[in-house]
Amino acid sequence: SKTLRIAVIPGDGIGTEVMPYGLACVKAAAKIYDISLEFEEFDFASCAYYQKHGKMLPDDWKETLSKFDALYFGAVGLPEVVPDHVSLWGSLLQFRREFDQYINLRPCRLMPGVRCPLANRKPGDIDFWIVRENTEGEYSSIGGTMFPGTERETVIQETVMTRIGVDRVLKYAFDLAQSRPKKHLTSATKSNGISITMPYWDSRVEAMSPSYSDVKVDKFHIDILTAHFVQRPQHFDVVVGSNLFGDILSDLGPACTGTIGIAPSGNINPTGKFPSLFEPVHGSAPDIMGKGIANPVGMIWAGQMMLEHFGYKEAAAHMLKSVENVLARGEDSVVTADMGGHGNTKSFGDAVEQEILKGKQ
């Protein structure tokens, strides 16, 4: 089979700490399943690169990265060094836009052995996908500041929804829901208060719904939806939301399953025209960086999503099962602090790698 080329971009903070374990686990799965992968690492899209070059990316980044089949990405941002909007709009958000990665796919799953902050929940009770719009919506560069520094100071940032942009993320979410046993799609809205864009979003959901007559659709305003995530997470199967709503829900969901440290994310260009990007949901975590205690599961699971994306279903299933096996054993000296143990990035990352290398079960 063809060699798949992967651009490795560790970024900042714990991104650089979890990346080696993500890579080790992907390589272990590739070894067992005889998948040919080639990796090339880049130092850009980091605040260290910015300090050296005055920008987050080299001018030819798009040409360079277009040659890869996927990007495996850690995390970006060190607000003490570079303002967050500069580092993120100069890197990750460029990738998402320029590579038209219009789907941000994020699982929320209560894993075996992980202590759940919600009462009386067991694995199986929380198992849903968030499909987040990833290229427009509230994340828009349209707007500006008028009369800066005066009493009349006025700051505006527009929300953008295009028919193509809304319909394509809804279609992906409907398709995903249709492929699952529960066939249930929940749409996040706020059409009571955000009176132009959100009613538009709702109208596109209604327009598409008849083409998926077997998919049960409901919608909730984002405020009560956050409450339902906490109080009845078993209700959800596939949840679709705008860029900002999806962002918020995809920290809340994983937190409800124990820790945001386990959650992965696929920034997908379903057309295949550009590479997709796989990363943990979490950021660079400056508060714990340098300590070697970051949970590597989000990074490893992102690698698992990358193999799944390439079509290596068995290898991906094996990787996820291996993560679950290590979590289920719950050894205190292996499990990281955010999951209640006394282990570290290395103890957990090594354990998953070894579990994968045990081979096909």
CB nearer to Mn ion: give 77 or 349: 77
- Judged by CB under 6 A, the residue of 22, 113, 233, 298 near ligand NAD is 298
How far is the CA of 62 from the CAs of 65, 66, 68, 71, 137, in angstroms?
Answer: 5, 6, 10, 12, 23
CB nearer to ligand IPM: give 14 or 208: 14
- Binding of residue 247 to ligand IPM (CB under 6 A): yes
- Binding of residue 247 to Mn ion (CB under 5 A): yes
Residues 179-198, mask of contacts with ligand NAD (x by CB under 6 A): --------------------
Total residues in contact with ligand IPM, by rule CB under 6 A: 5
**Exposed e or buried b for every residue in 32-53, given b needs 16+ CB within 10 A?**
bbebebeeeebebbbbebbeee
Residues 14-53, mask of contacts with ligand NAD (x by CB under 6 A): x---------------------------------------
- Judged by CB under 6 A, the residue of 58, 79, 123, 199 near ligand NAD is 79
| Residue 225 contact partner, candidates Mn ion, ligand IPM, ligand NAD, none, CB within 5 to 8 A by sort of partner | none
- Binding of residue 282 to ligand NAD (CB under 6 A): yes
**Least Å from the CB of residue 285 to ligand IPM:** 12
CB nearer to ligand IPM: give 93 or 252: 93
**Least Å from the CB of residue 283 to ligand IPM:** 6
- Binding of residue 88 to ligand IPM (CB under 6 A): yes
- Binding of residue 240 to ligand NAD (CB under 6 A): no
Residues 189-228, mask of contacts with ligand IPM (x by CB under 6 A): ----------------------------------------
| Contacts with ligand IPM, residue ranges (CB under 6 A) | 88, 93, 247, 281, 283
What are the residues binding ligand NAD (CB under 6 A)? 14, 75-77, 79, 84, 88, 92, 260-261, 279, 282-288, 294-295, 298, 338
